[in-house]
């Protein structure tokens, strides 16, 4: 046994106290290290050639927040990252290069910069690059969350790159056009069948609504959804895209979901708590739970973000405070 009174204030704090800290990763500095990893080992040797973005407050835990993992993955021309599946849910945000593909349960999608790609839990997936340039993307997974529940399983496919069983674009046509197959009855917590959200559609939607009055805390912000249910694309991870007009500055905001952000377009400044950084394209930064966030755009800017908000909402834990 142990005395509760000695630890009660830490176990049940008056407000969230995350050991994670605010941090920024500058892509211009990281890219050379990612490419160096490509010179040192092949995609097959590594299975997944990734450099983890590890939160400085969570050293050795492979976490960007307490519940989420993030990393930069590289695939070189002619390479294949072998097929596998796992209970962890994953997302990809393409940052650099084009011509590679991701295959999910027998369907490939060609990667373009800014595309948001989903790999639901326990779906077979592999990556390949038949193009002529290196391709780098940001991985986001719920690895720490699954690890907390001791529920991690993984399996390798006997075929490193199984042949496609459906044409490219099939899932988007069946589930992403305000229609679904006649016999499809999704469960409320089922992951999306649309596994690619093209950047050109995201940017067009944000620009189309940007003529209105921006929300003082978010600018113009849209949430990615499973089009069949309106829920998050994955039950544990949510994602958003955000447009900030030139010169716009958000008011302070904080929430319980630690969030990873990527600057896909434009530049400006981010302030997290008492820290502030200049932002350039492809820079990645993390805002820990219950840390004040403010953004300022020097030019028209577009940011992508992901967090564990759907999991917190399902458990009745999520809170937001607009300051």
The pLDDT tens digits of the residues spanning 86-134 come to 999 999 999 999 999 999 999 999 999 999 999 999 999 999 999 999 9
Q: Is the pLDDT of residue 42 over 90?
A: no
Q: How confident is the model at residue 43 (pLDDT cuts 50, 70, 90)?
A: confident
The pLDDT tens digits of the residues spanning 167-181 come to 999 999 999 999 999
CA-closest candidate to residue 196, choices 219, 170, 215: 170
Domain range 16-322, CATH architecture: Sandwich (2.60)
- 187 or 204, greater pLDDT: 204
Locate the domains of the chain by residue range.
16-322
- Which whole-number Å values give the CA distances from 162 to 78, 120, 155, 215, in the listed order? 16, 18, 14, 46
Q: Are 101 and 112 in contact (CB under 8 A)?
A: no
* Secondary structure string (H, E, C) spanning 144-195: HHHHHCCCCCEEECCCCCCCCCCCCCHHHHHHCCCCCCCCCCCCCCCCCCCC
Q: Is the pLDDT of residue 141 over 90?
A: yes
Q: Is the pLDDT of residue 227 over 90?
A: yes
Q: Are 151 and 228 in contact (CB under 8 A)?
A: no
- Which whole-number Å values give the CA distances from 247 to 127, 243, 266, in the listed order? 39, 12, 11
- Which whole-number Å values give the CA distances from 254 to 15, 111, 184, 216, 248, in the listed order? 12, 33, 38, 13, 18
Strands 90-96 and 116-119: antiparallel
């Amino acid at each position: 046994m142990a005395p509760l009174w000695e630890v009660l204030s830490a176990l049940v704090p008056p407000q969230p106290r995350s050991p994670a800290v605010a941090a920024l990763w500058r892509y211009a500095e990281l890219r050379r290290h990612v490419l160096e990893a490509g010179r040192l080992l092949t995609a097959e040797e590594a299975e997944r050639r990734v450099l983890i973005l590890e939160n400085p407050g969570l050293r050795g835990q492979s976490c960007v927040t307490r519940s989420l993992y993030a990393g930069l993955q590289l695939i070189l021309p002619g390479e294949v990252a072998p097929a596998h599946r796992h209970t962890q849910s994953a997302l990809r945000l393409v940052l650099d290069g084009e011509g590679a593909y991701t295959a999910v349960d027998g369907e490939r999608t060609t990667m373009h910069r800014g595309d948001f790609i989903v790999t639901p839990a326990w779906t077979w997936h592999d990556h390949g690059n038949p193009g002529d340039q290196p391709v780098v993307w940001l991985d986001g997974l719920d690895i720490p969350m699954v690890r907390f529940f001791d529920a991690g399983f993984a399996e390798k496919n006997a075929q490193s790159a199984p042949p496609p069983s459906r044409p490219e674009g099939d899932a988007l046509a069946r589930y992403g056009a305000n229609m679904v197959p006649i016999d499809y009855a999704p469960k409320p917590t089922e992951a999306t069948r649309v596994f690619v959200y093209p950047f050109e559609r995201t940017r067009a939607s944000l620009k189309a609504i940007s003529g209105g009055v921006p929300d003082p805390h978010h600018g113009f912000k849209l949430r990615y959804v499973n089009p069949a249910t309106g829920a998050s694309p994955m039950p544990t991870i949510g994602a958003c895209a955000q447009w900030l007009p030139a010169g716009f500055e958000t008011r302070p905001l904080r929430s319980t979901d630690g969030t990873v952000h990527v600057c896909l377009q434009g530049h400006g400044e981010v302030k997290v708590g008492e820290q502030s950084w200049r932002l350039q394209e492809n820079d990645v930064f993390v805002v820990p739970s219950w840390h004040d966030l403010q953004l300022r755009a020097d030019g028209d800017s577009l940011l992508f973000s992901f967090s564990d908000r759907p999991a917190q909402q399902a458990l009745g834990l999520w809170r937001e405070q607009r300051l």
